[in-house]
Structure 1
Amino acid sequence: MKPLRAAAIIPVLLLVAFPLVSTPLSAQASRSGAEVAAYAVNGTTGAPLGGFGAGAVKFDANTGTFAAMLRPPADAYDFERLKHAGFALFTQRDGKVATVGTLKARQVDGKPDDDAIWPLHRVNFGSTAGIAVRMTAFAPFDRRDPGRMSLPYAFYEFTLVNEGATAAEAALALRLDVGNAAVHAVPGKGFRSRAWSVYAAAEGKPAVISAGGEAGFLARGLASDEGAGGVTGTAVKVRLASGETRRVRFVLAWYEDSDPERSWYLGQHRDSSTVADAGLAHFGALRANAGELVDRMRASNLPDWLKNQTLNTLANLSTNSMYKKDGRVAFAEGQWTCFGTMDQMWHARQIMGQLLPFFAWEELKYWARTQMKNGQIHHDTNKMDVGADRALRSVMVDWDDTEHADYRDIARWVDLNAGFIVSAYETYEATGDRAQFEAIWPNVKRAAQRILDQVEQYGSKQYPYTFDHSENSYDAGGDPNPFNASLSAVAYKLMTRLATEQGEAALAARYQTAYDTVVASFRARYLNEAGFRLGKHSEGYFGGQWLALTMKLGEIWPAADHDFVLARLNDYYQPYYRGLGYADGTYDEWTPYIVTHYGGLLLNSRRAGEWAALQKDAYQRQYLDRNHVFNHPLNILPLVKTPVPVATEIRSKKQYISLPALWRNYYDIVGYHRDARSKALWLKPIVLPEMNGRMTEALYASPDGYGTVSVTTGGQHGQDKELLFKPDAPVEVRTLHLADDFGDDVSVTVNGRKLPVRRTGSGYAKELAVDWHGTVDASGLKVTVSGSPGAAPPPPPAKSTRPAPVDSKSLARIDPYKPVQASKAGKSAGTSVEVDTTGRSYVSSINNFDWLQFSRVDFGAGGATSFTATVMGAVPGAGIEVVLDDVAGDAIGSLVVPAGAEGKAWTTVSTPVKRVTGVHNVFLRFHGSSQDSLMNLDRVSFGAAPAAAGGGATGR
């Protein structure tokens, strides 16, 4: 290894745990802060930090270790521990050496003093021999330069403070095991190899940067020059006067090209060293970007839980993003290893259009170019005909591959087409980028026509433009037809507006007719006691109304219908009293959907208290068990009866694609909405009950930049408002839209000038429209609204007499050693039950990703080691995975079912499973390459371990 020379910059060292004597963390003292901030998200295994579509790393501050996911996305490859990776510290004062071989966060009441809030991770390492050490790690977040944001690197800035009375030396090292790779020292920077590089720098006065093996660092504060491969690191050594502060920077860069098409950066860089060079060059700017987003988000008086929950959904930019070498952009679903998933991702794309419009447009372009010839938008964009292997599924289809197979037949899926239209409109409205929109307008028209075709094929004759036989995102049961009908109403409204703007009058008239018809038919069919059938996923039946309100399109159905729906949903879900319900968690309802579809209806109808009970419960289920902060599945999580303040789970494969949909609720609360085409500006903040009538500097993001909304409320019902809108960059405004909660009298002044007011809209979409033409700069726009009170907000709902959902722990136990009819499964997703001529009931219509759940299966103390299934008519490659307790969990066994001879005979097949004991919920998860039914399933059983034969579910 080439020896390093002293340099005038300070980076970090990549090393493993050093075997020398070090200062115990318990001795690390004091002046580094006594308490962990109440808002801190501490105790996770680290925020995932890495470029868009480039992989990510996590630093576990509690253990001082790293994990990495170098081949995105996480649901295909996931995070694995990095061997021997960590930070080390050397100090020397007055001839005395004190060291820490593996830096770990300072402990406060048994919990680490850190804060993982994407794109930052702040860690307080405490004080060693009078040298206080803190770190701010960050991802490459860059709203202006997508290239800088899409590289495989993570950043670590250390702050060293000499708290002692005399001068001291301090050195930091970042180490890892590079295996057998050739390693080269780069003078003044650190070490490089093809796969890994660690470069470092220091602010201010010169520092000594060394690179090499770990030997000697804890003795001298310098990495040794010897060695090739193995544990290698970069070290930075500085001198600090008494009371002096120094900052040291590390760039950790990687390069993974086992698939040469996997990532965009592979076309830009030759190895990890050039990535590390770019990281050093842009370190300061990227540090400022990440800090600005977090610090300004947290500067408002919005509840800490809401800010943390919302901001950390952006971890998907590191864990779920894909950006291929040729420019294809998509997001992984998480949990199921589908890519793209238009039905889920359109919910989350709103914040992409506001925060990172480049990627929003690029993703829409990919969807447009893979649109089917009949106009249908696909569900996914990865190869789904490769079986259950997640890694094999990680290949995305090519540009213009319009007829590829989805995870199942999506011919009846209306929401995919509506979601594409919604996303195209929202991104166009946010950016005003007419050229980008014009490029996909033909695809938007074809998607809309496809909905009309689906109305013809799967629609109702009795209730025109609603559906009888459609399908959609709700592939795990429930009635998909109401959601499709209400969502199509939004699509028709958008098409009417867009066609009018494009000068296509006949097209606009066609969709106006479709809109008018579906609104009337939906009302007649569903908005009555008999038609609105409560049950699984009924939270989504009125999804179109929610979407229209949050998109500021006006209400679709009047307030009386809105109230009727909420009364029905309240009777079933009871969020004000039960939160999400389902104490032991469930896949029967989905967190991102219920919190937006239903929660959004509550927020947009002056029921913030009910919304808060729902969404805060979702937050607590996720954050009281720190293992879920960056690994939240689609399911409703179980109530946390015993908090888990320190996580051990490094994986993020369950992190779900639609979680950033929570930004929609955040924007409703902040109240900012702008149409960049018409220059209309909505300022309709919702001051939550716990905010004491004021909102201060609530952050929003738009393609123009950041800005804040502040408001002070007054009046009998909080209808009077003093608003201050402050964009960072100048914003042109032509019309102001304000909330209208007033009686007969209302007055609006803008920057001290009273202006005429038009009262527009109806029901929960009533607004005050003010024609104000001008440009708002950073000094802000002050709007005062006052008047007589209108109707009071709706009162809290009555408590339902309907029983709470059954906790599976109360059910009778199942003996797995006796055959169990598959049709007796307690829960199922997507399957059907049929009865043959002999009276035998069996499960049919089994498609890819469908599942069955058997609750409270008692394997006893001896346990089971095999699984047996009786099947018929399996298609080639169809299989069953056996999973415990979580439908997205790891399989304990799997089998490939032999192909059946035209479904004429039942066949019994068996497979070994990992030994399982005790009581569990057992899931059978189905997979296969065919879009048709994979098999029929008659019965299942488990085989006892040899020593437990005949043990059954007894003696417990």
Structure 2
Amino acid sequence: MNIKCYYSVLLLIQLFLINSINALASDSINVNNNSFFSFDEQIVNGTTGTPLGGFGCGAIKFDANTGTFSAMTVPPADAYDFKNVADAQFQLFTNRNGQIETRNILKAILTHGRPNDDAIWPLHKVDFGSVNGVRIELTGISPLDNKDYTNMHLPYALYEISLTNMESSEVISAFALKWNSESAPFFSLPAKGIYSDEWSILVKTSHSKAGVSVGDDKENRFLRSGVCSSSQEQAHTGKVAVKMNLLPHETQKIYFVVAWYDRTDPEIGYYKNLYKTPRAIAEHGLKVFSKLKYNAEKLVTGMRASNLPGWLKNQTLNTLVNVVTNSMYKKDGRVAFAEGQWTCFGTMDQMWLARQIMYMLIPYYAWQELAYWARTQMKNGQIHHDFNVMSVGKEREKRSVLVSWDDTEHIDYRNIQKWVDLNCGFIISVFEIYRATADRKQFDLLWPYVKKAAQRILDQVEQYGSTKYPFTFDGSENSYDAGGNPDPYNSNLSAVAYKMMIQLAGEKGEADLVKLYENAYKMVVNSFHNRYIRDGQFVAGKHCESIFAGQWLAFHLKLGEIWKAEDTDFILSKLENYYYPYYRGLGYPEGTYDEWTPYILAHYGGLLLNTGRLDQWHAMQKDSYLRQYLDRDRVFDHPLNILPLVNEPKWVSTNIKSKKQYISIPAMWRNYYDIVGFHRDFRSKELWIKPIIPKTMNHEMKNAMFISPEGYGYIDCKESGEYMQDKEIVIRTESPMPVSTLYLSDNFEENISVTINGKKYPFTRIGSGYAKEIAVRWNGKITEKGIRIVVKGTPEKKVIPIPVKPVTGVISNSSINQMSPYETMEAENADKLAGTSIVQSNKGNRYVTSCNNFDYIQFSNIDFGKKGATQLKIRVSGLSENSEIEVVLDDTSGTVVGNCKVPATGGEEVWVELECPVGKITDIHNVVLRFYGNSSDNLMNIDWIRFK
């Protein structure tokens, strides 16, 4: 890629962008404002580097702007996060005809103040520019290998250096990598590299006559001669240098492998079964270097080759950073993902949304993770929420200890017996991965646990079900632990779980189960319609985007519609008149935790995509991209929250952290697959090809890449006709893909014709409403040559009307709170009570209770003035030992300024007044009190707080 060509138009783009931001800030998104939709980026520069490392192994990053490194040698980022590596840097020496030019710290060249680099997982490309006529480029590589997973779960990062002589005379060039091992001294491997007990850097080169020197270089000889010096003393700083002669216009490559090895936790990584030293890992990395580079570049090049918007491709692909930042792969084979932001590991309610791309790209880890969920399933069938050892309080590092394989009754972060969605999520995930991989052996191992999870849903119907509306819920709980009504989501999602159980039980030949779940499915579908649509019990409000998540998922997985099209239109009209995505995108200019980015983009955004409301989806997801990528600090550190609008772009990041990178952010891949139109049942060899072309693409999709366990493939699609109903589709696969039945979109009234490779085929029209399809029994095989499908007909004349413009302003909480932080602020008067409730004592005193793990209360826009506060006084009754209150500014993912340890006081209304120091707080802030403890029950009650 030519990075520099991008910058020639950057200033013009920025002018458009400012108009876009202003449009967002006024009435949010004006869809007629071309700047909002036209702003795009082909590369991702200005981050602190792509996290590069093996699955469950940690990572390192190179900040191209500062020339510095950061590392996380113990996963995940949620617990340990990245820390600066002191004195780690790339260095350069050149000598052309006696003219010596050097760089002590190599940094990317800048264009308009922005570094020329491109951070797109699993690659990081850096342009160091030219020095003394030598052009220097870097490609950083994170190991990706879904054919030989041994290459993928090792703690190493790979760097390819390209040196090109741009002139017509020879030049001596030397390139070095300097590293600091901190606690363990380096030893030298002559002509190969350096190693310690914790780090190793080895090198090879394409130049047959290049010289490799290693040592501590205390005399700084490298910058004088291009060769490292080595003292007799053992040192914690080491350097590996490669020196060569470059002929005129010659290019040579240097290959570095940086490997690490954690010695603090014997169970931390599976790699400890394979290698005993970082040196051995680095040696392996050199052997497989070319393979891993090929794999990484194939993924990035394939994704970027399409004409899909650059912002969409970059946003989607970079969510895969979770493979590095959030993954855990223990020595005994347990696989889990860290939640991010909250330091809770596993989180089935969030991870099922993101697991789709994991089983498409790296199914081995997905199967392994699901086996862990299965073997820890509670005896009553309940799927857990997390795998944490919860008795360590708020100490993030200690939370990386996971429960054992078969610890079925461990304590979750809170009591999860009422959580229906955890059981649904497990069933959904097993169904999806089995369908994608056709791995019957793995499925058979999990089937008994799937049946128990399904039965647990029925048990929850008995315990928490509605008597008036059978199989819907009253008083159930789920992922929405910070407010909102959980019952519609549980009911809606359970319908999908029942539908899947009907299929799976039928395949297993268990007829009684089929009848059981056919009845459950019929009952919940009917009751949900009667309750929330016919009788109008759907109330718009916080997290109401979830109400039709089951209908979205059925569309997405090509299971047919569950509720009729008129029901879908009814729900969408209600959601539209609450969120107004066409005009406001995600809404909430200041950002919010009241709605969650991956949930709203999947549940609601996906429903918009699958019902032809492309403008609304586009406005919503493009808004999410702008909020993240206009602040480069957030590219690899996106919390669950909806981020605030960016009024002034931050093009160059100073944030090396990834602890907030949220577990469910990769759910965006589900929307990508709906747009590309690829869905597959590998068991039955059925294939759905139903591309959705955004209007900005001029009715043509080219080279849109899809990933599946069978390999990569590509889709082209041209649409035409009065209503763009006619499609000409070409699909190519790198590996042969056998197909039984092809399913195509049915947007027709009549006169339909389907040809494949010029031959006309009979077809059947199936489905209803928004899930109408054309089924073609083909029984062929798709290869790299591809097949050409043409479908034409008289259009169905259905037009989605332009949404009504809101008459009220954007939801905002920007007005200054009238409460003074220096006077008593009653807890029950907090602006947000997330997961908590208010009670009144016999004496008439009102206070906040139900303060469970990760619950919080928030006082919004509190003015501390210029003098500020340094202490918090709080009246509290502690109900559990070792509980704490974390004081956070601005939002739940904001800056932690203090902690208050809360002792057990001996009763619900046995009050104590605590004084806790806080970092100085000045000016206007939201104040969040976040609760932690060892118990899954209520930790404390809060009466009031006061700052001084």
TM-score range, shorter chain: over 0.9
895, 898, 919: which one aligns with 2:903: 898
Compute the displacement of 1:896 (Å). 1.4
Residue of structure 2 in register with 1:703 after alignment:
709
Residue of structure 2 in register with 1:502 after alignment:
508
- 1:777 pairs with 2:783: yes
Contact 1:683/1:736, CA 8 A, preserved across alignment = yes
Residue of structure 1 in register with 2:880 after alignment:
875
Number of aligned residues: 914
1:659-686 per-residue CA deviation (whole Å, 9 max, x = no partner) reads 0000000000000011001100000000
Compute the displacement of 1:35 (Å). 7.4
In structure 2, list runs of 5 or more residues that go unmatched.
11-39
Residues 1:31 and 1:91: Cα distance change in structure 2 (over 3 Å): farther
Q: Distance in 2 between matches of 1:44 and 1:248?
A: 24
Residue of structure 1 in register with 2:539 after alignment:
533
1:929-956 per-residue CA deviation (whole Å, 9 max, x = no partner) reads 111111111100112xxxxxxxxxxxxx
Q: Distance in 2 between matches of 1:635 and 1:705?
A: 34
Q: How large is the RMSD of aligned CA atoms in angstroms?
A: 1.4
Residue of structure 1 in register with 2:499 after alignment:
493
- 1:568 pairs with 2:574: yes
Compute the displacement of 1:231 (Å). 2.0
Residue of structure 1 in register with 2:625 after alignment:
619
Q: Which amino acid letter does the alignment assign opposite residue 727 of structure 2?
A: K
Contact 1:180/1:228, CA 8 A, preserved across alignment = no
- 1:277 pairs with 2:283: yes
Contact 1:814/1:855, CA 8 A, preserved across alignment = no
Q: Distance in 2 between matches of 1:561 and 1:576?
A: 21
Contact 1:885/1:923, CA 8 A, preserved across alignment = yes
Q: Distance in 1 between matches of 2:8 and 2:255?
A: 26
Q: What SS does structure 2 have at the residue aligned with 1:924?
A: strand
Residue of structure 2 in register with 1:459 after alignment:
465
Residue of structure 1 in register with 2:28 after alignment:
none
Q: What SS does structure 1 have at the residue aligned with 2:619?
A: helix
Correspondence 1:128-527 to 2 at 5 A:
128-214=131-217, 215-226=220-231, 227-527=233-533
Q: What SS does structure 2 have at the residue aligned with 1:810?
A: coil
92, 95, 99: which one aligns with 1:89: 92
Compute the displacement of 1:802 (Å). 4.3
Q: What SS does structure 2 have at the residue aligned with 1:527?
A: helix
822, 837, 841: which one aligns with 1:817: 822
Residue of structure 1 in register with 2:609 after alignment:
603
645, 649, 654: which one aligns with 1:643: 649
Compute the displacement of 1:903 (Å). 2.2
Residues 1:38 and 1:582: Cα distance change in structure 2 (over 3 Å): closer
Residues 1:459 and 1:30: Cα distance change in structure 2 (over 3 Å): closer
- 1:844 pairs with 2:827: no
Q: Distance in 1 between matches of 2:536 and 2:356?
A: 35
- 1:735 pairs with 2:741: yes
Q: Distance in 2 between matches of 1:513 and 1:206?
A: 75
Q: Distance in 2 between matches of 1:126 and 1:813?
A: 55
Q: Which amino acid letter does the alignment assign opposite residue 935 of structure 2?
A: S
1:170-227 per-residue CA deviation (whole Å, 9 max, x = no partner) reads 1111111123523221133111111111111111432111111232111111111224
Compute the displacement of 1:874 (Å). 2.4
Q: Distance in 2 between matches of 1:555 and 1:257?
A: 53
Contact 2:638/2:661, CA 8 A, preserved across alignment = yes
TM-score (norm 1): 0.94
Compute the displacement of 1:928 (Å). 0.9
Q: What SS does structure 1 have at the residue aligned with 2:882?
A: coil
Q: Which amino acid letter does the alignment assign opposite residue 905 of structure 1?
A: V
Task: State the identity as a percent.
Answer: 54
- 1:124 pairs with 2:130: no
Q: Distance in 2 between matches of 1:463 and 1:538?
A: 19
Q: What SS does structure 2 have at the residue aligned with 1:284?
A: helix
Residue of structure 2 in register with 1:13 after alignment:
none
- 1:69 pairs with 2:72: yes
Which stretch of the first structure deviates more once superposed, 149-158 or 834-843? 834-843
Residue of structure 2 in register with 1:17 after alignment:
none
Which stretch of the first structure deviates more once superposed, 915-924 or 56-65? 915-924
- 1:762 pairs with 2:765: no
TM-score (norm 2): 0.95
In structure 1, list runs of 5 or more residues that go unmatched.
1-28, 944-956
Compute the displacement of 1:382 (Å). 1.4
Contact 1:814/1:856, CA 8 A, preserved across alignment = no
Q: What SS does structure 2 have at the residue aligned with 1:901?
A: coil
Compute the displacement of 1:813 (Å). 4.2
Contact 2:129/2:135, CA 8 A, preserved across alignment = yes
Q: Which amino acid letter does the alignment assign opposite residue 94 of structure 1?
A: N
Q: What SS does structure 1 have at the residue aligned with 2:498?
A: helix
849, 855, 860: which one aligns with 1:855: 860
Q: Distance in 1 between matches of 2:4 and 2:365?
A: 45
Residue of structure 2 in register with 1:832 after alignment:
837
Residues 1:30 and 1:472: Cα distance change in structure 2 (over 3 Å): closer
1:704-760 per-residue CA deviation (whole Å, 9 max, x = no partner) reads 100001111111111111100101000010000000001111100011110001000
Contact 1:32/1:124, CA 8 A, preserved across alignment = no
1:441-477 per-residue CA deviation (whole Å, 9 max, x = no partner) reads 0000000000000000011000000000110000000
Contact 2:207/2:244, CA 8 A, preserved across alignment = no
Q: Distance in 2 between matches of 1:130 and 1:906?
A: 73
Q: What SS does structure 1 have at the residue aligned with 2:241?
A: strand
Contact 1:724/1:783, CA 8 A, preserved across alignment = yes
Q: Distance in 1 between matches of 2:676 and 2:299?
A: 15
1:911-937 per-residue CA deviation (whole Å, 9 max, x = no partner) reads 111122111110000111111111111
Residue of structure 1 in register with 2:25 after alignment:
none
Contact 1:859/1:919, CA 8 A, preserved across alignment = yes
Contact 1:257/1:266, CA 8 A, preserved across alignment = no
Residue of structure 1 in register with 2:13 after alignment:
none
Compute the displacement of 1:32 (Å). 12
Q: Distance in 2 between matches of 1:588 and 1:81?
A: 33
Q: Distance in 1 between matches of 2:4 and 2:870?
A: 53
Q: Distance in 2 between matches of 1:32 and 1:126?
A: 15
Compute the displacement of 1:529 (Å). 7.1
Q: Which amino acid letter does the alignment assign opposite residue 508 of structure 2?
A: Q
1:307-351 per-residue CA deviation (whole Å, 9 max, x = no partner) reads 000000000001000000011001000000111100000000011
Q: What SS does structure 1 have at the residue aligned with 2:814?
A: helix
Contact 1:870/1:939, CA 8 A, preserved across alignment = yes
Q: Distance in 1 between matches of 2:7 and 2:889?
A: 43
Residue of structure 2 in register with 1:15 after alignment:
none
Contact 1:329/1:363, CA 8 A, preserved across alignment = yes
Residue of structure 1 in register with 2:115 after alignment:
112
70, 77, 82: which one aligns with 1:79: 82
Q: Distance in 1 between matches of 2:239 and 2:667?
A: 40
Q: Which amino acid letter does the alignment assign opposite residue 852 of structure 2?
A: N
Q: What SS does structure 1 have at the residue aligned with 2:288?
A: helix
